[in-house]
Structure 1
Amino acid sequence: MRARPPTWLRRGLLRARRLVLPAVSLWRRSVQARVVITTMATSIVVIGVVGWLLLQGVADGLTNARLSVALSESRSGFSAAQQSLDVRAVSEAASGPDVLRTLVNDLAERSGSPPSYLVLLEGPITGGTDRGLEPTVVSSSGLVAESIPDDLAASVAAGDGPAYTFTRLSTETGEPESSAIVVGDLLTMPDGQQTYALYYTFSMADQEDTLALVRNALVYGGIALAVLSSGVAWLVTRQVVTPVRLARRIAERLADGRLEERMVVRGEDDIARLSVSFNKMAESLQRQIRQLEELSRLQHRFVSDVSHELRTPLTTVRMAADILHDARGELDPSLARSTELLQTELARFESLLADLLEISRFDAGAARLEVEPIDLVDLAERVCTQYEALAARHGVSLRVVADGPVPVEADVRRIERIVRNLVANAIHYSGSERVDVLVAQGTTSAAVAVRDYGAGLEPGQSQMVFNRFWRADPSRERSRGGTGLGLAIALEDAVLHNGWLQAWGEPGQGAQFRLTLPRRAGDDPQRSPLPLVPDVEGGALERRGAP
């Protein structure tokens, strides 16, 4: 088993997520925020690259200028020092410490005040061992020999001529180290036997201060430019995003049914023309929706009025048909057959009229639920009991497959009507020898599925079966004609319960209709406990009811 991360890591990740999620949400939802953040990031990158290039150019310029001055002054100093030694008499004292110190002081005085360079004399490099001379280091302003890099000292000692390098200066006074250019060369004493290394060190503190000043200016200027560019991006995008947001709010109001909402038109630019076009579209939609609403209202009223008006003559015709049907034994065989046909068609007409009235209630929004606790397993078994005789006549075996009681809160009349419709359709139209009614429950939902093993459905028919007055292949055998409204009413009943009614079918493999309901009225069922695409044997649920 994989070990869990430590508590401190989980807490850190949780805090990081809490900080990141708002930023991610803002990035995903706001165009203006994306433009401003992108502009700021791009500005920072561009300003950083340009600033770095400028800083490098300034640094190279300052360094080259200081190096040129250092080389020029050091060459002059080397020449003056060698001349000063050459004019001295050749004597043993000419290489003494006092002479060397005097030489260094004279050279240091030439640098001015404050000194532009420091001088250090070290040696003897050659010829001192034979005469027993001690190593001597003479410097100005407390410059220490450790400031001279070893590679420069080796190059000077090799006698390759003037050499220079960049280093960090340190003095005996303990002042902060600073960058410097060190130029070194050999001096030959008047006797020609001894050589000393003379170093000029040129401080670059002024150049570092200048470079720091330029760097600070670039940093502060870059920050100001990034902020200003972000502000400009915010102002520019606000001019575009504000009308778009207004259009979004107005579109939401239009979707909510407030069809009179319009955008305010200002100016003659592209945004203004967009507002004009949006308002024209809204007016066209309002006009068409009003027309459709009026047509729908007239249609609903027509269906409702016709259905109600047909009830009275239909009742009269039904009474007359009942009298004729009761007396059919005394009539001529052809007339008796006519009375039987009349009775059958009247029953079908009454069913159609009842379905039309129910559809008109759904269309008018007048359908209401009478919720009460019910057991879907008992309801399914009751429906199967009602259709046992019809199933026997068609050679169909009915069974209920469940795993115990399935309580829900629903309108028992409407749910029973859905299940009756599904079972009756499976018996009449599927051509199957077996029909299973599956009942199951989940955490938040319950489901009833009617499964047959007959002709099935053609591709695309699983959605069309719920259309009003739609019929499958007319060549399929039927023992009676339906109204074509049963599944449409069943779908409306399911939606009224905040549930789903779905169909699946494959040619030759049968079909399955699944009703999914919330266990508590008004809840979201979230997911169905039964799969829409069934197993051949209906799963491992316990079989209950009639075989």
Structure 2
Amino acid sequence: MRVRWPYGLRTRLVLAFVLVTALGAVAAAWAGAGSARSALLSEARQRLTGELTARIAAVARELTFPPDAAALDRLRAAVGEQTLVSYVDSSSGGGAERAAEALRGAVRERQRLVWQRIEADGPRLLIGTPVMITAVDGQRRPSGIEVYAVRDLAGTQAQLDELTMAAARTSAIALPLAVLLALLAAGGVLGPVRRVRDTARTLAVGELGARLPVRGKDELAELSVTVNEMAEALQRTVAELRRLEADARRFVADVSHELRTPLSTLAAVSELLQAGSGKLDPVERESAELAVAATQRLVRLVEELMEVSRFDAGMARLRIEEVEVDGAIRDCLRVRGWLDQVVTDLPEVVARLDPRRLDVIVANLVGNALRHGAPPVTVRLRATAERIEIEVSDRGPGLPESVLPQVFDRFYKADPARSGGSGLGLSIALANARLHGGDLTAGNDPAGGARFVLVLPRAAS
């Protein structure tokens, strides 16, 4: 499972650094305290047991065996308070009964010094040891005398408590230091990352000359070099594409301009030919009508190409007038002979628009519906205080889902076998809508058929 962090990279980096640094400092502090604690306890034990055995040794050589009560008392007095000295059924002293009870079995079994640390009634060290004597043959053996003593560890415990407090203070100090170091480290790491981000944003808005400074030889420096190489390659590619695009636009504009004059002549000749086609025999009349239709299509194509070239060159401009939108739509349909083929719902609406470009948009949408849809083709006009909406729909097969994303692309035809259009009409209609600050969308009506919706501001600027 992937863990989703709800924080930014800086916060995550600081938290991770603080966590690692703080854990390391705390672990080191407590490890040091633990080591010192063990050393203190070991030193206290060795000191107390050494002192005990030294005192026993100083008196043991003067003892007679079997010892009497006086000898046991001298040994107990030499060892100190809270000491119990026992021999068979005799004993001397007091205050060490707990030590005797806890350690007697181990002392008699092992016949050597035994100790135990307890915490009841404060930290204490219980010590039990047999008194050894040297026989005439030089061997050491137990004398039967056993010494049990209790020694206070309060001083040692105070030192241990101080060590614990020191470890806690060190841990507390480590946290703000870890935060400071984390902020410094995050700044050092995220500074280059921010520069990469800013450079990427600059490249994204089209300033392809942006580059990153390369500092050092670490991974971030390698990233900066890679980004710079990518930007260089992108700049070269975009420059080449722009050059090719400019060449293509210039070619289209030049060809369209060069074709305009001879096409005007052809259009005039075709009109004369069409006017006199009634005097021709059927075969010649059919040929003349084909020539006229082809000439008209060619004229429309050149006009559309010139319009596209103006949009591409950024030379398209609006000529805003106060327009009776319902009347402009009716005029568009009437001029093209479509008024009887289209159902209209056109309330009176006045808006500030470019009437020529509105005519182009409506003509493209209605013409497209008449060619590729099925009757009835409907044009509806709606308006609010801020915008107008023109809907053109038909009852044809509609637009396939695969066509919708590309329907406004230049030269795109859903069915390449269809003739009668250049594939530029809808793209020109969309460009004119956006030039007004509006939009044009395509979809399918729930009742069937294609549906195009033009939205324009009520007062274009």
Q: Residue 383 of structure 1 contacts residue 420 of structure 1 at CA under 8 Å; is this kept in 2? A: no
Flag the 1:365–1:337 CA change in 2: closer, same or farther, 3 A: same
The SS at the match of 1:366 is coil
**Structure 1 position 247, deviation (Å):** 4.2
The SS at the match of 1:433 is coil
Q: Residue 287 of structure 1 is aligned with which of 230, 236, 253?
A: 236
**How does the TM-score come out when normalised to structure 2?**
0.65
1:291 is aligned with what amino acid? E
Q: Residue 267 of structure 2 contacts residue 299 of structure 2 at CA under 8 Å; is this kept in 1? A: no
Counterpart of 1:36?
14
Q: Residue 380 of structure 1 contacts residue 437 of structure 1 at CA under 8 Å; is this kept in 2? A: no
Flag the 1:510–1:45 CA change in 2: closer, same or farther, 3 A: farther
Q: Residue 332 of structure 2 contacts residue 359 of structure 2 at CA under 8 Å; is this kept in 1? A: no
Counterpart of 2:334?
386
Q: Residue 26 of structure 2 contacts residue 170 of structure 2 at CA under 8 Å; is this kept in 1? A: no
Q: What is the CA–CA distance in structure 2 between the aligned matches of 1:473 and 1:310, rounded to whole Å?
A: 28
Q: Does 1:485 align with 2:424?
A: yes
Q: Residue 35 of structure 1 contacts residue 237 of structure 1 at CA under 8 Å; is this kept in 2? A: no
**Structure 1 position 487, deviation (Å):** 0.6
Q: Does 1:467 align with 2:406?
A: no
Counterpart of 2:358?
415
**Structure 1 position 457, deviation (Å):** 2.5
Flag the 1:385–1:496 CA change in 2: closer, same or farther, 3 A: closer
Flag the 1:59–1:497 CA change in 2: closer, same or farther, 3 A: farther
Counterpart of 1:434?
376
| Unaligned ranges ≥5, structure 2 | 1-5, 53-68, 71-76, 83-96, 105-115, 127-149
**Structure 1 position 352, deviation (Å):** 1.7
Q: Residue 384 of structure 1 contacts residue 399 of structure 1 at CA under 8 Å; is this kept in 2? A: no
1:493 is aligned with what amino acid? N
Q: Does 1:497 align with 2:436?
A: yes
The SS at the match of 1:390 is coil
The SS at the match of 2:338 is helix
Q: Residue 384 of structure 1 contacts residue 398 of structure 1 at CA under 8 Å; is this kept in 2? A: no
Counterpart of 2:185?
233
**Structure 1 position 492, deviation (Å):** 1.4
2:421 is aligned with what amino acid? G
**Structure 1 position 447, deviation (Å):** 4.0
**Structure 1 position 442, deviation (Å):** 7.7
The SS at the match of 1:455 is coil
Q: Residue 442 of structure 2 contacts residue 451 of structure 2 at CA under 8 Å; is this kept in 1? A: yes
Q: Residue 40 of structure 1 contacts residue 230 of structure 1 at CA under 8 Å; is this kept in 2? A: yes
Q: Does 1:350 align with 2:289?
A: no
What are the residue-to-residue correspondences of 1:111-190 with 2, within 5 Å? 166=119, 180-181=122-123
1:213 is aligned with what amino acid? A
Q: Does 1:319 align with 2:272?
A: no
Q: Residue 454 of structure 2 is aligned with which of 510, 515, 520?
A: 515
What are the residue-to-residue correspondences of 1:231-380 with 2, within 5 Å? 233-234=185-186, 237=189, 241-242=191-192, 244-265=193-214, 274-371=223-320, 378=326
Q: What is the CA–CA distance in structure 1 between the aligned matches of 2:26 and 2:172, rounded to whole Å?
A: 8
**Structure 1 position 317, deviation (Å):** 2.7
The SS at the match of 1:44 is helix
What are the residue-to-residue correspondences of 1:444-459 with 2, within 5 Å? 447-459=389-401
Counterpart of 1:424?
367
Q: What is the CA–CA distance in structure 1 between the aligned matches of 2:385 and 2:25, rounded to whole Å?
A: 58
Q: Residue 391 of structure 1 contacts residue 427 of structure 1 at CA under 8 Å; is this kept in 2? A: no
Q: Does 1:398 align with 2:343?
A: yes
**Structure 1 position 364, deviation (Å):** 0.5
Flag the 1:297–1:59 CA change in 2: closer, same or farther, 3 A: same
The SS at the match of 1:448 is strand
Indicate the larger mover: 378-387 or 283-292. 378-387
**Structure 1 position 449, deviation (Å):** 3.2
1:415 is aligned with what amino acid? L
Flag the 1:515–1:46 CA change in 2: closer, same or farther, 3 A: farther
Q: What is the CA–CA distance in structure 1 between the aligned matches of 2:170 and 2:216, rounded to whole Å?
A: 42
Q: Residue 328 of structure 2 contacts residue 355 of structure 2 at CA under 8 Å; is this kept in 1? A: no
**Structure 1 position 49, deviation (Å):** 4.8
| Unaligned ranges ≥5, structure 1 | 1-23, 75-85, 88-106, 112-118, 120-154, 169-179, 185-198, 523-547
**How does the TM-score come out when normalised to structure 1?**
0.56
Counterpart of 1:209?
162
Q: What is the CA–CA distance in structure 1 between the aligned matches of 2:188 and 2:408, rounded to whole Å?
A: 52
Flag the 1:183–1:62 CA change in 2: closer, same or farther, 3 A: closer
**Structure 1 position 331, deviation (Å):** 4.1
**Identity over aligned residues, as a percent?**
33
Flag the 1:255–1:305 CA change in 2: closer, same or farther, 3 A: same
Q: What is the CA–CA distance in structure 2 between the aligned matches of 1:330 and 1:389, rounded to whole Å?
A: 25
Deviations 1:153-176 (A, max 9, x none): xx98xx9999997579xxxxxxxx
Q: Residue 449 of structure 1 contacts residue 513 of structure 1 at CA under 8 Å; is this kept in 2? A: yes
**Structure 1 position 368, deviation (Å):** 1.9
Flag the 1:439–1:42 CA change in 2: closer, same or farther, 3 A: farther
Q: Residue 469 of structure 1 contacts residue 484 of structure 1 at CA under 8 Å; is this kept in 2? A: yes
1:297 is aligned with what amino acid? A
Aligned length: 406
**Structure 1 position 454, deviation (Å):** 1.1
Indicate the larger mover: 55-64 or 288-297. 55-64
The SS at the match of 1:345 is helix
Q: What is the CA–CA distance in structure 1 between the aligned matches of 2:381 and 2:322, rounded to whole Å?
A: 16
Q: What is the CA–CA distance in structure 2 between the aligned matches of 1:409 and 1:52, rounded to whole Å?
A: 80
Q: What is the CA–CA distance in structure 2 between the aligned matches of 1:419 and 1:223, rounded to whole Å?
A: 71
